[in-house]
Amino acid sequence: MFNPYQFKFLPAFLAILLLTSLLPAQQVTFSNVAAQMGIQHIYQHSGVWGGGVSFCDFDGDGRDDLTFASKVGEYIYCYRNETSQFLNMAAQMNITDPYESQSVLWVDYDNDGDKDLFVANFAASSKLYRNEGNGLLQDMTGPAGLPTAALTVSAACWADYDNDGYLDLYLTNRSPLQPNRLFRNQGDGTFADVTTIAGVDDTNQAPLAVSFIDYDNDGWQDIYIANDRGMFNGGNTLFRNNGDGTFSDVTAAAGADLRFDAMGIAIGDYDNNGYLDIYVTNNPAGNGLLHNNGDGTFTDVAGPLGMTVGRVCWGTSFIDYDNDSDLDLYVCVSEGSTSQKSEFFINNGDATFTPAVGIGMDGDTYSSFASAIGDFDNNGYSDIAVLNEGDPSVLWKNSGGSNNWIKLTLEGTVS
């Protein structure tokens, strides 16, 4: 599944929220405003996997827009934020992609200062659209050297793994007959398949999610893969970036080899120790939370922290919903309780969490697949977009509180 926190590793013009001071928190709540904001989107998959959602200002007007994955026979939904309403601009943007999409990712792959679009499709050709700067997108998949054949792509992520200033692409393939693929951005608008050289094919697995992560703080992006059916196929995979264009499989040594039906990934430093942690969703057997010990190893602390959930979970996102400087957690759930499916864990500030009560999400019975974090109304507090299966997609508006915030617009290719 698409994990929106991987945008932490994307380049220029990414707006982020930083805290400037902490005040006694007032109650922060959410309300679903999708219908009143003009969002009419229902996703239905043809198999057993869900689609993704993206919060990204794709037109550069300073307001976060929304992009939802599509079902077979429909184009993806590109909702432009018009302040009081969202308008679906996919047709006007020249998107010709009527496939079942898994991930929708906005990136600036050619470093021209605007957001381009990558759509990871299942059982069809994935698409790379270049932003022409006039509101139109141009399909550059073939000219860019990316696969035009139908693949079983289940997830995708972007980062500059070789630190040359250009974003590279990693694709996971659900079929054990199709290895994962790493495409190096050559800086001229084209990509080269360097999977074999880099050693990151991770064959004979059933991946559902992937994220770049610099887990050891050495300045090089590593790769973490959530593999479904891990109890049979060897579990999740952690590739350490060697800094020379190659990677090493350090999964077992790092203690990152969770062996279960891994579905989604969230990356964040929940205990503020300076090292990124990994939350991984699962079936009712229980989710995992890999605490980064800071020495190259992880410890699963989901059980002791009461964060296993115990239902079928998919996408997940870290979010500081109350601007108190620690990361809370949203978890999409597709099966289980009939009274509430999604889970929201509030960070207590001492590396423990408490299930949220009374924040406006009680009674959310939708079957959810993916979530994304953004601030569509620019009130300084993070909102949540959720893609559901067979039910209307949701936009959780954050009421805001009393803690301060600052918004930055980053430029350049070094972060």
Phi, psi dihedrals of residue 366, rounded to the nearest 5°: -70, 150
Phi, psi dihedrals of residue 375, rounded to the nearest 5°: -135, 80
Query: Within 13 Å, how many C-alpha atoms sit on residue 241's CB side?
Result: 22
Q: What is the pLDDT of residue 12?
A: 34
Which whole-number Å values give the CA distances from 244 to 201, 240, 247, 325, 404, in the listed order?
Answer: 17, 11, 8, 35, 42
Single pTM value for the model: 0.92
Q: What is the pLDDT of residue 186?
A: 99
The answer to whether 370 touches 2, Cβ cutoff 8 Å, is yes
Q: Could you say which DSSP state residue 108 is in?
A: -
Q: What is the pLDDT of residue 25?
A: 52
* Separation CA 269–CA 328 (nearest Å): 10
- Report the b/e string of 322-346 with b at 16+ CB within 10 A: bbbebbbbbbbbbebeeeebbbbbb
* Separation CA 196–CA 199 (nearest Å): 5
* Separation CA 379–CA 405 (nearest Å): 9
Q: What is the pLDDT of residue 178?
A: 87
| Average pLDDT for runs of 10 along the chain of length 415 | 37 37 66 96 76 96 96 90 96 88 96 96 93 96 96 95 98 89 98 98 93 99 93 87 99 96 97 98 96 99 97 96 98 75 95 95 88 98 95 95 88 72
Domains of the chain with bracketed CATH:
4-409 (2.130.10.130)
Both tokens of 82, joined, read 């018009």
